[in-house]
Structure 1
Amino acid sequence: MPIWNIRYGTPVPPDTAPPLVGTDRVLAVLTELAGHADGASLEELTRAVASPKPTVHRALASLCRFGLAARNGHGRYVLGDEFLRLAFAHHEARPDHLRIAPVLTALTERYGETAHYAVLDGHTVVYRAKVDPAAGALRLSSTVGGRNPVHSTAVGKLLLAYALPDDDAAVTAWVGDRPLPQRTPHTLTSAEALAAELRTIRAHGYAVDDQENEPGIVCLAVPVFLTSPTRPSGAVSVSAPVSRTPLATLVAEVRAIRATVEAR
């Protein structure tokens, strides 16, 4: 896993990341553990966070004391039960999660596809809630708490359209000098293309992902106004395999999708 910028939640290239010290090292170890569902050895964690083995061991000892990490039966380190309890308790208590859950359930039952609720966080979106279709249907790999790039997702582009002024220069400044990763052959990779897309989104009031983030997956997103009548708190999307639900089918349902969100 890449070293993460704890403040902004974005990966930092190893050759440009500052040395980890103090609490940053503990948090880096905790973050790295989250990427190893089957656990990680001390040696693996030492390499991943680029720190001396004794200091990583001390960080793990601190996490274990508070129940945030533990050693499994194979001697590998995993996230602790207390960490999971805190994370799930906090997530379940979030007002937006509680208020949006019936919307996602209604959309999934109606269309038989996955529904998400996501919020904007810098250059990424974070999935706060997700409802999958009934057992047996194809499920997407997205996870609650997971991130995806703004520029390649329907939820991201929609929220960015509201967050930025209707000005190409604002989009150029937002992109800056960092490249927009090309997730698929359909991904928008220039500030000019993204600015044009945001204009279309503002005109129509919804956004689409036409296999831009993941091959074979399409998505339509609409805004959710939980705390303000003009600035969305997040976005709800319906995502589907294009072979089963073409994008045109989702677009034809945009009024019904928006009505489901607004009614609840």
Structure 2
Amino acid sequence: MPSPSLLSGAVDVLTAFDADHTEWRLSDLSRHLGVPTSTLHEQLLALCDTGLLVRVGRGRYRLGWRLLKLSSALYGSLPWYAPAHSAMERVARATHRLAFLCVLDGQRVLCVARSVQGRDGPPVAGELDFELPAHATASGKLLLALAGRPLPAGASRFTPLTMTGAEAWEAQAAHIRADGHAITADEWAQGTASLAVPIRDAHGEVLAALGVSVPTPRIRQGTSLLRVLLDAASEVSWTLGWRPE
């Protein structure tokens, strides 16, 4: 059985690949991860042997087809993912903004999908991040509040507006539960705002957050953005059997 350190190293290698880094050279990846080239080379060969990576050209690596098989199996086990993903893309086309789906994984908020069409305007914070700060994003706050979770311990302060106080969080969480949506502005990064609403299953359990991220000046369009999000999320939840009173 592989040791925890070997598994951790393999995870670090795989997660180094993203939309900005679809390929890595050994030397560049070594510098990025802070791992000796000799150690990293062994890890890359082992991952290539399993099909999780593939070697292309001379000394360059990219993700392998086996990951696509694994991701297909994962999505196939989540009946809500396909309709939620379609709703996310509709939101992106309707708002011309970055739309996304986030889930709560233990104490972590993970962005499991982002829109690839219908967007314009300047970049916003977190366009490529997989794990989001739960206390500084609308999706994170929504998922924490609806799950009745406290503010994460040791929450980092990204801007002067980042919420880090437990008492203030309890008050805000109560408002989020009452309103049914969450909104942030300049809490993760100056100039970035976000808005999120829940997607529910037939029993009313929150499956994911559907959100948009916009430049802060655009948050004044919050009412129209919220309506688009609520309509899209309600359609998915209704499809999944949710019948609110």
TM-score by length of 1: 0.72
Q: Distance in 2 between matches of 1:110 and 1:56?
A: 44
Change (3 A) 1:139 1:254: same
Q: Distance in 2 between matches of 1:224 and 1:92?
A: 16
Query: Please, what is the CA RMSD of the aligned residues?
Result: 3.2
Name the residue aligned to 1:204: 179
Name the residue aligned to 1:263: 235
8 Å contact from structure 1 (residues 33, 40) kept in 2: no
Q: 1:235 and 2:209 equivalent? A: yes
Q: Distance in 2 between matches of 1:262 and 1:147?
A: 25
Q: Distance in 1 between matches of 2:43 and 2:17?
A: 12
Which 5+ residue runs of structure 1 have no aligned equivalent? 1-18, 165-169
Stretches (4+) displaced over 4 A: 32-36, 52-55, 135-141
Which 5+ residue runs of structure 2 have no aligned equivalent? 237-245
Q: 1:41 and 2:26 equivalent? A: yes
Amino acid at match of 1:182: R
Q: Distance in 1 between matches of 2:190 and 2:119?
A: 23
8 Å contact from structure 2 (residues 91, 228) kept in 1: no
Change (3 A) 1:214 1:255: same
Residues 71-220 of structure 1: pairs in structure 2 closer than 5 A: 71-76=55-60, 78-86=61-69, 88-90=71-73, 93=76, 94-134=78-118, 137-138=121-122, 140=124, 142-143=127-128, 146-164=130-148, 171=150, 175-176=152-153, 179-220=154-195
Cα deviation, 1:177-215, whole Å, max 9, x if unaligned, reads: xx2112233211222222222122122111001121232
Change (3 A) 1:29 1:137: closer
For this pair of structures, how many residues does the alignment match? 231
Q: Distance in 1 between matches of 2:28 and 2:214?
A: 40
Q: Distance in 1 between matches of 2:167 and 2:137?
A: 17
Higher relative contact order (CA 8 A, sep 6+): 2
Cα deviation, 1:44-88, whole Å, max 9, x if unaligned, reads: 5388365x7655433222111122223343424x23332453355
Sequence identity of aligned pairs in percent?
Answer: 26
TM-score by length of 2: 0.77
Amino acid at match of 1:65: D
SS of 1:185's partner is coil
Name the residue aligned to 1:64: 48
Name the residue aligned to 2:242: none
Q: After alignment, is 82-91 or 92-101 more displaced?
A: 82-91
Q: Distance in 2 between matches of 1:135 and 1:163?
A: 31
8 Å contact from structure 1 (residues 220, 251) kept in 2: no
